[in-house]
Structure 1
Amino acid sequence: MGKESKVLKVSLPLIAQMTVYTFMSIFDMMMMGKYAGNIAVNVLGLSNALVNIFAGVFIINGIAIGMISLISRCIGAKKYHKAALCVYNGLIVGTILALVITFIIFIFGKNILYKMGAREDILYITLNFSKINALAMFFYMICTLLNSVFIAYDHSNIPFLTAIVQFLTKIFFNWIFMFNIFKTEININSSALSSLICYVVGFIFCFLKLNEYRIQIIGLYGKLKISFKTMMEIIYLSIPSSFEDAAYGISRLICTSIIMYSGTLAFSANEIANTIESISFMPGTGFGVAATTLVGISIGKGDVKGAKKSADYCAFWALLMMCSFSLIFLFMPSLLVKFFVNKEEWKVAYLAGRCLAIGAAEQPFIAISMVFAGALKGIGDTKGPFFISLFTAWIIRLPLIYYFIYILRYNITAVWWITAIQWGIDGILMFIFFRYRIYNYKNINKK
């Protein structure tokens, strides 16, 4: 199978999986925006920001990425027992972290939400919602760890099937819990409850699939043991990757708090635009994870030229898909936004449409950034993406948003112009770093 075909084989199921998850979020946001107004949108936005920052930093972009990077290189080098050890010990570390994250949200959720700008009724509504949401995310985090194993072993279709099972379960229980409630009184906790059920069902499905593939994936299943050395290898790779996501995620969380002080109108418009734009992230994220896997396997084989080709193919397809979204966001923003608001909230729709149109400019740079960050992790360089994200999020984005939004009180659209500048610099630096690292890798191998 050629490099380009291999890229598509690994990437397309991942993109489809992430698209399904995105539509689950959009489905919730649309229902709440239509039937409960911008207060419900605020609650969803704050809760998701709170829970996702922890899950994203420590699991999704932390342990899971470390596992994919290490396991794929072991498979490329045909070190199958070491790969199996990474699976076993990675799942142990990840599960412990997921439990700690859930505990933190339960105990300190109120204080964190208060720091984020939530007050009075919104604070208590969001806190109750977030506790249920945290339980749901625990099972989602475990699914993410199991899915990382399938991805590293080139079974990226399994995460997609898991997402389909979760999506169908979510729709079914949303209909049971939410539509009947909407006839009388809206209870936003029903959305979190349906999420909890859908992620539990998804976890069961994913675990059964892992058991089904255990001979192929964990060949020496009975001989595996706890290895602190293997755990430390995974953690060593995961920490910079976690810090990379933290650099971006925490700065975004602070920016969300700044926007919250601008009022519910600006916050709702920003959340709706972000929710719609998140669809376009799927190709970049999918091809970025594929780049980590394929580059890792090539590096494990000692095929540096093949690693570069895999990264370039991933970047090409990510650019092609995300530039298509740029055209949609630029020419049809109002059409997309109207699904999230009722007729009385035209001001929110107008602001969200303007934000989305500006977001069209950053799509190509997001594609480049995500793919080459993934490629760097495939090489084993998780520090480079961290330092780049730290620079663009904390030195560029955060100070500019604080100055223009909090001090000068600019319109919410200024946030999107600033973010476009951030992604532009981020994408260029990721590309340069990867080219530098792959060039040095070639020279080291020659020597």
Structure 2
Amino acid sequence: MKKFTFKLDKKADKEIIELAWPSITEQILEMMVGMVSTIFMGRIGTDAVAAVGMVNMLMGFLQTVFSGLSMGTTVIIARVTGEGNKEEAKRALIQSIYMALVIGLALALFGKIFSVSILKLFFGGADSNVINLGISYFGITLLNLPFFVLDIIISGAMRGAGDTKTPMVITGVVNIINIILNTILIFGMPILHIPALGVIGSAIAVTISRVVAVIIRLIVLYNGRKLKLNLSLKDDYSIRTNVMKRIINIGIPAFIEQAVMQGGFLLVQIIIVTLGTVAMASYQVGINVNSLAFFPVFGFAIANTTLVGQSLGERNYKKAENYAYESLKITMLMAFILGMFMVIFARPLASLYSNDPLVIKESMSLIRTFGILEPLIAILNVCSATLKASGDINYVMVSSFVGLWTFRVFVSFALIRWAHIGMTAVMIGIFLDFSSRSFMYLSRMLKGKWKYLKV
């Protein structure tokens, strides 16, 4: 077991930061779009915030297949890039696109047919106006699922090859388009005779932005000759089951892990529905503000996955281990600083999202809870990224179920039902979840066996 110290390796840190900052910037840009959308919904009303948050949680669950497939693609491309096999990296991307399109279209069709039944099944206890707004928003955003999967697959492939700047630039352009469209379609633009569409306008803006993102990424992918990963019409487009199998070996456990995670988040959302609209809106505000710290952490986790995966492809186990530990140190330090910012500025942050005094008060407690837990979130994400990059995804899958479902779901439910302590129960469950999973992932990484797994 390696001894963990806080002494930094400046050379490794520079490499990590150079690869991480574009991913962090990209995640912040994504976060800003989510923040702006939620703030806009807050100006419409608490029901709109609750409805959009409810649907986004459900969409997150539907998108778990894509996240798993993207992780499989990123890990395999990082490995073969480390081996110096560029043609195999291209084949992995092409096979991923094939699989993703089939799954994306199937889920979009299923969701479209059963959209009303799905929302009423999971959120039937919500206010009728919230449900109706959610049905309108859900029906439109389902159309972007196939485009969403292409978006994250191509981005994940580029990152696996070590290119984080290109996805960042494209995301920045698309997010500017998204914010402009949200502003125009939600509130209307009389000078252009565009009516205010409210929640529906937001759904249309998101869908158009997804389509534009995919078009731009494909244009860049097929014309960027200087990119670390690109495609041409001369590449091998035949179906390669052996390549698909390698991706699936990582992708299926990653999908199950994400399904377990998103399923747990969804159940917590369902539990919160029983506490009323104020609780639902407050929870969405807390989750959105937590993105201030989570997405930068996620950016370092992405860089860690790439660097560890490429190092393992080179069979340089010492370098892989060094990247893993340096990434963890940097991310923990950054998370602590951001967490303190959240604790100190909880009220003004909550006030950005809502004018309702009750929502602001409830949100502040959640924001401060997340702020205190940010270092644990850093450990959880960076250590799990290391294990995923090495192929130790089954451990991540099992431990995520144990931590999230045992504590965040069941403990929250039990305390709400029998102790009647409302959102305090949810905060206790979140604390126990992050504590348990960060301990399990860190212990596993310290043992070091992950370095020698084959994928």
Which of the residues 84, 101, 107 maps onto 1:95?
101
1:406–1:45 distance in 2 versus 1, CA, 3 Å: farther
Query: Could you say which residue in structure 2 is the equivalent of 1:332?
Result: 345
1:14 aligns to what? Answer: 23
Superposed CA deviations along residues 287-306 of structure 1, whole A, max 9, x for unmatched, are 11211111110011111110
Amino acid of the structure 2 residue aligned with 1:78:
G
Among 121, 144, 152, the alignment partner of 2:152 is 144
Sequence identity (%): 20
Q: Which residue of 2 aligns with 1:50?
A: 58
SS for the counterpart of 2:162 is: coil
Match of 1:135 in 2: 143
Instruction: Select the residue among 257, 271, 287 that pairs with 2:284.
Output: 271
Aligned counterparts of 1:440 and 1:40: Cα–Cα separation in 2: 45
Alignment of 1:96-135 (within 5 A): 96-118=102-124, 119=126, 120-135=128-143
CA contact (8 A) 1:89 1:231 kept: yes
Cα deviation for residue 266 of structure 1 reads 1.0
Deviations 1:343-362 (A, max 9, x none): xx101111101111121221
TM-aligned CA deviation for residue 81 of structure 1: 2.6
Q: Is the Cα–Cα contact under 8 Å of residues 139 and 199 in structure 1 kept in the other structure?
A: yes
Partner of 2:6: none
Aligned residue for 1:302, secondary structure, equals: coil
Letter in 2 for 1:173: L
- 1 CA distance for matches of 2:225 and 2:97? 14
Matches within 5 A, 1:34-433: 35-55=43-63, 57-60=64-67, 62-118=68-124, 119=126, 120-180=128-188, 187-213=198-224, 217-218=229-230, 221-342=234-355, 345-433=356-444
| CA-atom RMSD in angstroms | 2.1
Give the superposition deviation at 1:175: 2.5
Query: Aligned partners of 2:174 and 2:152: how far apart in 1?
Result: 13
1:116–1:85 Cα change, 3 Å: same
For this pair of structures, how many residues does the alignment match?
438
Deviations 1:288-340 (A, max 9, x none): 12111111100111111100111112112211221112101211100111111
Look up the equivalent residue of 2:22 and give its one-letter code.
Answer: P
Compared CA separation, residues 279 and 228, structure 1 to 2 (3 A): same
Distance (Å, rounded) in 1 between the aligned partners of 2:264 and 2:305: 25
**Match of 2:120, as an amino acid?**
Y
Moved more, 303-312 or 413-422: 413-422
Preserved CA contact (<8 Å) 1:298 1:306: yes
Task: Tell me how far 1:416 sits from its aligned partner.
Answer: 1.6
Name structure 2 gaps, 5 residues minimum.
1-9
Residue 41 (structure 2) aligned to one of 26, 32, 41: 32
CA–CA distance in structure 1, aligned partners of residues 384 and 450 of structure 2: 17
Q: Distance in 1 between matches of 2:180 and 2:231?
A: 37
Contact 1:165 1:201 in 2 (8 A): no
| Consecutive unaligned residues in structure 1, runs of 5 or more | none
State the shift of 1:413 in Å.
2.6
Deviation of 1:440 after TM superposition, in Å, equals 6.5
Is the Cα–Cα contact under 8 Å of residues 387 and 450 in structure 2 kept in the other structure?
no
Mapped contact 2:379–2:438 kept (Cα < 8 A): yes
- Which amino acid is the alignment partner of residue 203 of structure 1? V
In 2, the alpha carbon distance for the partners of 1:135 and 1:20 equals 23
Give the CA deviation at 1:224.
4.1
In structure 1, the partner of 2:5 is: none
Which one is further off, 135-144 or 361-370? 135-144
393-402 or 133-142, which deviates more: 133-142
CA distance in 1, matches of 2:50, 2:225: 43
Q: Distance in 2 between matches of 1:30 and 1:123?
A: 20
Measure the CA separation in 1 of the matches of 2:106 and 2:31: 25
TM-score normalised to the size of structure 2? Answer: 0.91
Contact 1:133 1:196 (C-alpha < 8 Å) held by counterparts: yes
Residue type of the partner of 2:203? A
SS in 2 for 1:416: helix
- TM-score, length basis structure 1: 0.93
2:119 partner SS:
helix
Post-superposition Cα deviations, 1:40-99, rounded to whole Å, max 9, x if no partner, equal 0111111101111111x1112x01110111111111112333222111101111121221
Following the alignment from structure 2 to structure 1, what is the Cα–Cα distance between the partners of residues 15 and 58? 36
Contact 1:326 1:361 in 2 (8 A): yes
Matched, 1:435 2:446: yes
Provide the C-alpha distance between the structure 2 equivalents of 1:390 and 1:174, rounded to a whole number of angstroms.
36
* Structure 2 residue matching 1:210: 3-state secondary structure: helix
